[in-house]
């Protein structure tokens, strides 16, 4: 065997990692990063750091990725390499590094699934044992790579205050010590922290420069990142950084019986040596390739009634809105909350969840007349459901109080409701049936918004023994995913939107069963620009539903332009639009028809940041077609918002940036047309007019002049090769 024979190389596509077993059999990390899959051994194998540190595995001063109490009470775990298997998987590889405890009957498999065409690596851990009784897993990270030289590391994360504050961009230096970022609440944890992060180990990165590790915990439950920075004793030597990521194990000890298998969440991650833009393009490609349902299908233009009517509607009102939605150019009309409840009609959020029969007062003919109205108007019909929940005031709760997820205490109510326990077989059947019977009301119902409007507050399940109530945090996600998977299997042609009090379920794991998610209930376009900027680092436009609403009472043209850079739709009182507003909405629909394929499926180039630097009063980004023949570029002049947004547009302090768009064909000529949705721009601002012709090289070198000089305005450039 040569020196390299026993190296385990994982080539993730443009980067990778190399592992080796030390003389003592423990798994070591030889290299990580752009050259990470191409390393050779420069030192004896045992001098390299642990690849997946365990508690008791050697270093008592640093956090471990795996902490186990064995059946006999032993607290330490020492893993040695057993075998490595490599299997072709799609166009990548599935590598399993099987480790075993040197003393106890416990195996730990490190799984890696590569996707060379995107450069995103999926990794997870599987644990199994054959001891005399249950083993307790206290910590069970999915990944724990070590960045050996991290001189000035920083992290961009997305911890917010909760509802309507998702995807808040935060930059934090990673100083010596351990930084812990985590979400809680089980259901809708991402309202507190999106399960994604960008780590720049070698100091601040830009769109095009610097090392950046992009991470996504593909998990619908509590997630965590542990970032452990340690200085080195030798002067002048940069610190090292260990990144641990996976399910948040706090309060979620997992009790594993002999012969059973624990599968950790998957963490999807990538390493770019060329800045954050590359991380984004990789995540978008991987999301389309490995996550998203129907990735090639352009998502429909949805009109939702929620913010137009809330609970206050009847058949005539919805029929009228369907007609207006169709007239505006919608593809789908989505009827939101409030359509169900017979004994307890759902006239507000205090009753009826669980009773999924149409309210006979609001909708005497049920959903069928509305679906037929949509068909007559030439559009599709969609419906809102919240299958995982029950109000105490409901027939379901009267019938099945034992279905509630709870312990022996009286459970807290959130939004007047309780969560059902998906670990019960009957509950899972019921949840699938909620969707079946709702869709069964009319064949034209072909779109579903699946909501979940409360966290888990009183964990407990009658399906779990007293010694393992904490398994709930993991088992709840798996059980809920099995329901979602079954719904997707039974209704392959129905498009599904994921929602949890807004963006409470914006993760790549749950998304596997859906087509898109509701990014946030906060649709104030100034806030939304920043949310879409942040969320768009990991999720393509096809996924981020963005609707025009009245939040923030911003000008309609600006509001529409912001929604157009996500999966476009409306959630508006269409009857109350002024003529000018209606004209603006019609212009926006026309732009959507020309550009949504690019927004949803194109490669993103971010140009002007609204979340970093001194001047955060502007934002701009573009979506480019794969063949580089077309692009759409959005420019936004913001106002208000957090500190840092207050620079006067056009001030000396912050001269307007040029819009330099790289990524097009330098020698091709492009026609550039611009649209001002308000119709007020001095230059006409209408894409219908004769556009400027510029070469790809000029667009990248000198770019387009910043087109806006007033707050709350936007310009949309359509760029087409001639």
Closest to ligand DGJ by CB, 142 or 417: 417
Closest to ligand DGJ by CB, 337 or 524: 337
CB of 306 to ligand DGJ, least distance (A): 5
CB of 498 to ligand DGJ, least distance (A): 10
Interatomic CA distance for residues 229 and 223, integer angstroms: 20
Closest to ligand DGJ by CB, 154 or 521: 521
Interatomic CA distance for residues 509 and 221, integer angstroms: 10
Closest to ligand DGJ by CB, 521 or 605: 521
CB of 1 to ligand DGJ, least distance (A): 58
Closest to ligand DGJ by CB, 141 or 521: 521
**546, 524, 547: which is closest to 535 by C-alpha?**
546
Closest to ligand DGJ by CB, 199 or 498: 498
Interatomic CA distance for residues 620 and 634, integer angstroms: 5
Closest to ligand DGJ by CB, 415 or 489: 415
Token pair 């595995």 in the structure block, residue: 57
**242, 188, 286: which is closest to 62 by C-alpha?**
242
Contacts of 608 (CB under 8 A, 6+ apart): 618, 619, 620, 621, 635, 657, 659
Interatomic CA distance for residues 186 and 473, integer angstroms: 6
DSSP for 357-425 reads SBPTTT-TTTTHHHHHHHHHHT-EEEEEE-TTEE-SSSHHHHH-GGGB---SSPPPPBTTBEEB-TTSH
CB of 70 to ligand DGJ, least distance (A): 44
Vertex 382: Cα angle to 378 and 388 (nearest 5): 175
Closest to ligand DGJ by CB, 222 or 501: 501
CB of 316 to ligand DGJ, least distance (A): 21
Closest to ligand DGJ by CB, 118 or 453: 453
Contacts of 76 (CB under 8 A, 6+ apart): 54, 55, 56, 57
Stretch (H or E) spanning 605: strand 603-608
CB of 519 to ligand DGJ, least distance (A): 10
DSSP state of 155: E
Closest to ligand DGJ by CB, 247 or 335: 335
Q: Is 72 helix (H, G, I), strand (E, B) or coil?
A: coil
Closest to ligand DGJ by CB, 256 or 322: 322
Q: How many residues does the chain have?
A: 722
Exposed, middle or buried, 292 (CB in 10 Å: 0-12/13-18/19+)? buried
CB of 521 to ligand DGJ, least distance (A): 4
CB of 245 to ligand DGJ, least distance (A): 27
Interatomic CA distance for residues 292 and 515, integer angstroms: 6
Closest to ligand DGJ by CB, 228 or 571: 571
CB of 520 to ligand DGJ, least distance (A): 8
Stretch (H or E) spanning 140: strand 135-140
CB of 147 to ligand DGJ, least distance (A): 37
Query: 3-state SS string over 416-441?
Result: CEEEECCCCHHHHHHHHHHHHHHHCC
Closest to ligand DGJ by CB, 65 or 389: 389
Interatomic CA distance for residues 247 and 554, integer angstroms: 39
Interatomic CA distance for residues 591 and 620, integer angstroms: 17
Interatomic CA distance for residues 439 and 251, integer angstroms: 38
Interatomic CA distance for residues 548 and 577, integer angstroms: 12
Cα first-last separation, the chain: 58
Stretch (H or E) spanning 32: strand 27-33
Taking 3-state DSSP, the helix, strand and coil percentages for the chain, each rounded to the nearest 5, stand at 20, 30, 50
Closest to ligand DGJ by CB, 287 or 305: 305
Contacts of 251 (CB under 8 A, 6+ apart): 459, 470, 473
Beta carbons of 333 and 325 less than 8 angstroms apart: yes
CB of 188 to ligand DGJ, least distance (A): 10
Q: What are phi and psi of 342, to 5 degrees?
A: -105, -65
CB of 336 to ligand DGJ, least distance (A): 5
Interatomic CA distance for residues 220 and 510, integer angstroms: 6
Parallel, antiparallel or unpaired: strands 66-69 and 135-140: antiparallel
User: Token pair for residue 204?
Assistant: 């601040």
Closest to ligand DGJ by CB, 15 or 339: 339
Closest to ligand DGJ by CB, 146 or 302: 302
CB of 388 to ligand DGJ, least distance (A): 13
Query: CB neighbours (10 Å) of residue 203?
Result: 14
Contacts of 643 (CB under 8 A, 6+ apart): none
b vs e for 16-41, b when ≥16 Cβ sit within 10 Å of the residue's Cβ? bbbbbbbeeebbbbbbbbeebbebeb
Beta carbons of 190 and 506 less than 8 angstroms apart: yes
CB of 367 to ligand DGJ, least distance (A): 17
CB of 463 to ligand DGJ, least distance (A): 28
CB of 639 to ligand DGJ, least distance (A): 25
Interatomic CA distance for residues 630 and 602, integer angstroms: 9
Closest to ligand DGJ by CB, 137 or 308: 308
Q: Kindly list the residues in this chain that would bind ligand DGJ in the complex (CB under 6 A).
A: 306, 336-337, 384, 451, 453, 499, 501-502, 518, 521
CB of 115 to ligand DGJ, least distance (A): 31
CB of 518 to ligand DGJ, least distance (A): 5
Closest to ligand DGJ by CB, 337 or 718: 337
Residue nearest to ligand DGJ (CB): 337
Q: Is 665 helix (H, G, I), strand (E, B) or coil?
A: coil
């Amino acid at each position: 065997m040569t020196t390299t024979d026993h190296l385990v190389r994982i080539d993730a596509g443009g980067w990778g990692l190399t592992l080796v077993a030390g003389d003592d059999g423990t798994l070591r990390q030889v290299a990580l990063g752009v050259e990470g899959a191409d390393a050779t051994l420069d030192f004896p194998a045992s001098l390299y750091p642990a690849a997946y540190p365990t508690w008791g595995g050697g270093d008592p001063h640093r956090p471990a990725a795996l902490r186990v109490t064995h059946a006999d009470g032993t607290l330490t775990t020492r893993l040695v390499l057993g075998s490595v298997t490599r299997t072709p998987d799609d166009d990548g590889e599935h590598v399993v590094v099987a480790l075993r405890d040197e003393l106890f009957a416990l195996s730990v498999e490190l799984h890696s699934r590569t996707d060379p065409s995107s450069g995103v690596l999926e990794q997870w851990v599987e644990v199994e044992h054959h001891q005399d009784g249950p083993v307790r897993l206290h910590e069970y990270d999915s990944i724990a790579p070590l960045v050996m030289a991290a001189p000035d590391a920083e992290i961009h994360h997305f911890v917010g205050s909760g509802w309507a504050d998702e995807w808040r961009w935060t930059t934090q230096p990673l100083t010596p010590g351990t930084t812990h970022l985590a979400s809680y609440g089980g259901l809708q944890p991402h309202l507190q922290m999106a399960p994604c992060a960008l780590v720049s180990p070698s100091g601040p990165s830009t769109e095009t420069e610097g090392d950046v590790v992009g991470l996504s915990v593909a998990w619908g439950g509590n997630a965590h990142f542990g970032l452990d920075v340690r200085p080195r004793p030798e002067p002048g030597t940069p610190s090292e950084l260990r990144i641990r990521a996976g399910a948040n194990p706090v309060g979620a000890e997992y009790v594993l019986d002999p012969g059973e298998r624990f599968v950790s969440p998957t963490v999807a991650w990538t390493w770019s040596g060329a800045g954050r833009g590359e991380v984004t393009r990789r995540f978008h490609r991987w999301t389309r390739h490995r996550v998203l349902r129907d990735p090639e299908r352009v998502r429909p233009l949805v009109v939702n009634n929620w913010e137009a009517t809330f609970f206050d509607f009847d058949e005539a009102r919805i029929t009228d809105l369907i007609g207006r939605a169709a007239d505006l150019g919608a593809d789908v009309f989505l009827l939101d909350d409030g359509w169900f409840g017979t004994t307890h009609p759902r006239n507000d959020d205090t009753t009826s969840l669980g009773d999924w029969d149409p309210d006979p007062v609001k909708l005497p003919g049920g959903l069928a007349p509305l679906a037929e109205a949509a068909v007559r108007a030439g559009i599709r019909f969609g419906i809102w459901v919240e299958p995982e929940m029950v109000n105490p005031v409901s027939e379901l709760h009267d019938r099945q109080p034992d279905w509630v997820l709870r312990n022996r205490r009286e459970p807290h109510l959130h939004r007047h409701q309780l969560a059902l326990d998906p670990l019960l077989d009957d509950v899972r059947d019921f949840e699938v049936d909620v969707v079946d019977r709702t869709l069964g009301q009319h064949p034209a119902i072909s779109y579903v918004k699946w909501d979940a409007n409360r966290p888990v507050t009183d964990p407990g399940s009658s399906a779990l023994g007293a010694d393992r109530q904490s398994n709930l945090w993991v088992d709840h996600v798996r059980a809920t995913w099995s329901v979602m998977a079954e719904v997707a299997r039974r209704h392959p042609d129905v498009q599904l939107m994921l929602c949890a009090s807004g963006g409470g379920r914006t993760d790549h794991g749950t998304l596997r069963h859906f087509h898109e998610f509701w990014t946030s209930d906060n649709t104030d376009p100034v806030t939304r620009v920043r949310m879409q900027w942040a969320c768009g680092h990991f999720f393509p436009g096809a996924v981020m539903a963005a609707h025009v609403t009245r939040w923030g009472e911003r000008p309609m043209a600006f509001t529409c332009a912001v929604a157009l850079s996500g999966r476009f739709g409306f959630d508006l009182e269409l009857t109350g639009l002024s003529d000018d507003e209606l004209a603006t909405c019609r212009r926006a629909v026309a732009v959507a028809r020309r550009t949504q394929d690019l927004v949803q499926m194109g490669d993103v180039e971010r140009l002007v940041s609204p979340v970093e630097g001194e001047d955060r009063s502007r934002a701009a980004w573009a979506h480019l077609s794969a063949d580089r023949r077309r692009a759409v570029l959005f420019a936004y002049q913001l106002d208000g918002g957090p500190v840092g947004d207050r620079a006067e547009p056009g001030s000396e302090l912050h001269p307007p940036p040029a819009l330099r768009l790289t990524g097009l064909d330098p020698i091709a000529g492009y026609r550039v047309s611009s649209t001002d949705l308000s119709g007020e721009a001095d230059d006409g601002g209408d894409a219908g007019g004769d556009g400027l012709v510029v070469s790809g090289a000029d667009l990248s070198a000198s770019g387009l002049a910043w087109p806006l000089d007033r707050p709350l305005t936007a310009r949309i450039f359509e760029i087409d090769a001639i």
